[in-house]
Structures are given as C-alpha cells and as structure tokens.
C-alpha cells in the first residue's frame, strides 16, 4: 500500500473556542473564520502536508462527484460530496460530524477520492459514484484501499421506522436497531457493503462512535458544534 496516506482528526489540538473547541475544521458552522484557518494550517502541518494543497468541498448530502487536479484557488468551491484526483501530492479533505468520512486510494494508479456519506448520501450512492469516477481515471477496485472514519454508530443513530425502511430498501446492510431497541440506521455498515459489492476488499472502519465519544464532534449530540476532517493523499 505504498504511497497512500489516510488521516482522521479528533476535536483536540486547535484554537477554536466553545462550542467549537478545539480543532474545528468546518468553515460553515458559525465559528470564527480566523480560527478555522489556523486550525486547517495546524492540522495540515501535523500531517506533513501543505495546507495550500488541501482541497475541500461544499458538501450538500448528494451524490455529486467532481475530479480535481489543483486547489480551487479563486474558483468557487463546488457543491459535491465526493472529490477525486489523479494528482499525487494533492490532499483531498472531507468534513463530518456524525456522517461517514470515506477515503479511497489506488496507490498503483495514483488515484484518490474523499467522500461524505451521511444517510442521504448512502441512499443516493455517493460512494459507488466516487469509485466509478476513480475507475474512469484508471483505478482498479481490487487495488483500492478504503478507510472510513469516526461516525455515529448503528446503536445510536435512531430514525423513524419509515426512514429505516427507506434506507434498508436501498442498502439492507444499513438496517439497525438502537441499544434501546428502536429503529436505527448504520451508515458505516451500508458504505462497507456498497464497497464490498464493488470489489473493494481492503477496507477498515475506525471503531469510534462520534455521538459516544467526548473526543469527537457530534451534530446529533450537540447541534452547534465543529467538524472533523478526513484527509487522503498519495506520494
Ligand atoms: Zn454509538
């Protein structure tokens, strides 16, 4: 797996004040923009990547994918939930606070992707769309390494019965029950099932539930809160 790098942040080590303390990386959650800029620089430096070469998205809970080969610069940041690159040295980033951050890389082809998969993105198929875009750039699902990060777990993500049925109709593996016995959705399990069907076998899931962890931001727990980030890049 030489040359592929994956990283997920927790909430510590930044400069944001409550309720965004400390390492909020989201620019659209009400935090001080200067603090977010500083946090993004701190996070990049701790990973050894150039903060100016990190590419972010305007995430909208859809299945849109765009290919990128340079930072956006002065261009508007597109409203998509997955970005794909064939450019080594460019770092792709995804923001979450309960949704599943999905990082993908084929180190042989030199193709990477970052995707944001919440419940709507799971149903809409954002992760399969990202894998398709990667294969169009020369990636092979059998070589793709997939890492999913901290997200709300299936024992905590309570939804109405009808919503669980709707999600399970699209992805049966996401059918779940809360620890207190009510309908729930397991988005991470659904994402991994989608990847399995696409032939992506090298997969790991970070065993952290954001809602249960005091070290992570959780939208469902706190509503006004920061955003974690997942980063993927190829040497
Ligand atoms: Zn949980």
Q: Are 228 and 95 in contact (CB under 8 A)?
A: yes
The pLDDT score that the predictor gives to residue 211 is 98
What spacing in Å lies between the alpha carbon of 62 and ligand 1's midpoint?
A: 24
Token pair for 207: 């065993």
Helix (H, G, I), strand (E, B) or coil at 66: strand
The pLDDT score that the predictor gives to residue 2 is 67
Q: What is the pLDDT of residues 159-211, one digit of tens each?
A: 999 999 999 999 999 999 999 999 999 999 999 999 999 999 999 999 999 99
What spacing in Å lies between the alpha carbon of 181 and ligand 1's midpoint?
A: 13
Mean pLDDT, each 10-residue run in order, the chain (235 residues)? 89 98 97 98 97 97 97 95 97 98 98 98 98 98 98 98 98 98 98 98 98 98 98 97
Q: Are 149 and 228 in contact (CB under 8 A)?
A: yes
Q: Are 117 and 95 in contact (CB under 8 A)?
A: no
What spacing in Å lies between the alpha carbon of 213 and ligand 1's midpoint?
A: 8
The pLDDT score that the predictor gives to residue 53 is 97
What spacing in Å lies between the alpha carbon of 28 and ligand 1's midpoint?
A: 25
The pLDDT score that the predictor gives to residue 132 is 98
> Measured between alpha carbons, how far is residue 69 from residues 41, 50, 58, 60, 200 in Å?
20, 15, 17, 21, 24
What spacing in Å lies between the alpha carbon of 81 and ligand 1's midpoint?
A: 23
What spacing in Å lies between the alpha carbon of 207 and ligand 1's midpoint?
A: 10
């Amino acid at each position: 797996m030489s040359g592929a790098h994956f990283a997920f942040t927790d909430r510590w080590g930044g400069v944001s004040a409550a309720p965004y303390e400390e390492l909020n990386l989201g620019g659209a959650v009400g935090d001080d923009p200067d603090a977010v800029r500083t946090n993004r620089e701190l996070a990049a430096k701790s990973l050894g990547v150039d903060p100016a070469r990190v590419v972010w998205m305007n995430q909208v809970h859809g299945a849109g994918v765009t290919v990128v080969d340079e930072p956006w610069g002065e261009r508007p940041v597109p409203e998509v939930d997955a970005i794909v690159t064939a450019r080594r040295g460019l770092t792709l980033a995804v923001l979450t606070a309960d949704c599943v951050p999905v990082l993908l890389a084929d180190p042989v082809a030199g193709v990477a992707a970052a995707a944001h998969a919440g419940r709507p993105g799971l149903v809409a198929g954002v992760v399969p769309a990202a894998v398709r875009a990667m294969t169009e750039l020369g990636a092979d699902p059998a070589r793709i390494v997939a890492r999913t990060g901290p997200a709300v777990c299936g024992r905590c993500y309570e939804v109405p019965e009808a919503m669980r049925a709707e999600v399970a109709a699209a992805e049966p593996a996401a059918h779940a029950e809360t620890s207190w016995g009510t309908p729930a959705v397991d988005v991470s399990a659904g994402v991994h099932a989608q990847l399995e069907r696409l032939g992506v076998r090298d997969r790991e899931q970070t065993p952290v539930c954001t809602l249960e962890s005091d070290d992570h931001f959780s939208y469902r727990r706190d509503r006004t809160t920061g955003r974690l980030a997942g980063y993927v890049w190829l040497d």
